Amino acid sequence: MQEANRDQQLRSLWNELGNHPERLQREELDCLNEALTHTSSGLHPHHEQLEFLGDAVLRLAASEFIAVAYPQMPVGERSSLRAQLVSDRWLTQLGEAITIEQWWRIGPKASGDPTAAATIRAELSEALIGAVYRIAGLQAVQTWLSPHWQRSAEAVLADPHRGNSKSALQEWSQGQGLGLPRYACSEISQRHGDPKRFQASVTLSPDLAADGWGRSRREAEQQAAEALMAQLKASSSGRA
Number of other CB atoms surrounding residue 222 within 10 Å? 25
DSSP label at 22? G
Which residue, 42, 33, 125, is CA-closest to 88?
A: 125
End-to-end, the C-alpha distance of the chain in Å comes to: 60
Mark whether 126 is an active-site residue: yes
DSSP label at 215? S
Of the residues 34, 51, 55, 221, only one is catalytic, namely 55
Which residue, 197, 206, 204, 195, is CA-closest to 227?
A: 204
| CA gap 182, 137 in Å, rounded | 43
Answer for the pair 5, 99: CB distance below 8 angstroms, yes or no: no
| CA gap 65, 67 in Å, rounded | 5
Mark whether 159 is an active-site residue: no
| CA gap 152, 201 in Å, rounded | 27
Of the residues 34, 88, 126, 226, only one is catalytic, namely 126
% helix, strand, coil for the chain, step of 5: 65, 10, 25
Annotated catalytic residues are 55, 126
